[in-house]
Amino acid sequence: MIEVKNLEKKYFINTPNELRALDNINLKIEDGEFVALVGASGSGKSTFMNIVGALDRPTSGEYLIDGVPVHSMTQNELSDIRGKKIGFIFQSFNLMGRSNALKNVELPMLYAGITAKERTKRAKELLELVEMGDRVHHLPNELSGGQKQRVAIARSLVNDPSIILADEPTGALDSKTGDIVMNIFKKVHKEKKKTILIITHSIEVAQMTQRIITIRDGRILSDVPNTPIS
């Protein structure tokens, strides 16, 4: 369970142009929820997700995963959280260009200290799950955008994290390949029971989730349940 209390993030603190990117955010996300985060560009969605993803620290307020405070952790502890509790998916895929799909998927397991044999086994399983079992030895530049994003989804899952965070995962894809990627998310949600938080600009994408949170100017504007259309 993710819990956020009175969360604030400010930039340019104590200068005339101080900026409140996040302003008093209070939020709970239960295990296994499939959530969309929407809002205009610059409204603070990424800032929020980066804090939830343990990449960034809030200026003030609390952030807890399963009751454990993350906001006060050291750099090393944050690395551990990122490696084991959280799976990241980026708009621009962020695959390692010189490594093939398999090696890319194995990477988080390397940092988590998993043996080579186990790494290969799990990476192959997950590439099968995202329907990339036949592209295991391809380099990123030999894959289409949708295929790259599927490899990235497999990579986010390898350490069996409880939370998957995706910042505009279909933002760089056309709507057809975007749908294929979203179907993978739905499959992951259904089969793996992960908590998934997706930032999106697309109403169709948001409609596929169970809950839609709208942010404006760093505040929660609305937080409504949604019945996913299948």
Partner 1 sequence: MFFKENMVLALESLRSNKMRAFLTMLGIIIGIASVIAIISVGDSLSSSITTEMQSIGTNNIRIMVREKDNKFGNPRNRMNNPGSMLSSGASAEDKDLITIEMLEAFQERFKDQVAAISLNESRGTGQVKDERLYANVTVSGVNPGYISVNNVELINGRFINDRDTAGRKSVAVVSDKLVKNIFGSSINPIGQEIKLYETSGIKTYIVVGVYKYTDSDSFFGASSTSEKDAQTSIYIPITLAKQDTTIKNYSSAIIMSKTNVDTDKFTKDIEEYFSKYYETNPKWEVSVINMASQIETASSMLSSVSLAITIIAAISLLVGGIGVMNIMLVSVTERTREIGTRKALGAKNFHIRMQFITEAMIIALVGGLIGLVLGLLLGTLGSNLLGAAPSFSLPTIVLTVAFSMAIGVFFGYYPASKAAQLDPIDALRYE
Ligand X SMILES: Nc1ncnc2c1ncn2[C@@H]1O[C@H](COP(=O)(O)OP(=O)(O)O)[C@@H](O)[C@H]1O
Q: Which of 21, 129, 132, 153 binds ligand X (CB under 6 A)?
A: 21
Count the neighbouring beta carbons within 10 Å of the beta carbon of residue 33.
Answer: 19
214 forms part of the interface with ligand X (CB under 6 A): no
Binding segment toward ligand X, per CB under 6 A, in 35-43, 64-72, 136-144, 177-185: 35-43
111 forms part of the interface with ligand X (CB under 6 A): no
Provide the token pair at 106: 């194995």
List helix spans (H) across 19-164: 45-52, 75-84, 101-111, 116-129, 145-157
Residue 136 · residue 86 · CB < 8 Å? no
Residue 63 vs 129, nearer CB to ligand X: 63
| First-residue to last-residue Cα distance in the chain | 26
The b/e string for 104-120 (b: 16+ C-beta within 10 A; e otherwise) is: bbbbbbeeeebeeeebb
Q: Which of 19, 40, 110, 221 binds partner 1 (CB under 8 A)?
A: 110
41 forms part of the interface with ligand X (CB under 6 A): yes
Residue 56 vs 223, nearer CB to partner 1: 56
82 forms part of the interface with partner 1 (CB under 8 A): yes
Per CB under 8 A, residues contacting partner 1 are 50, 53, 55-56, 75-76, 79-80, 82-84, 88, 90, 94, 96, 98-99, 107-108, 110-112, 116, 155, 159
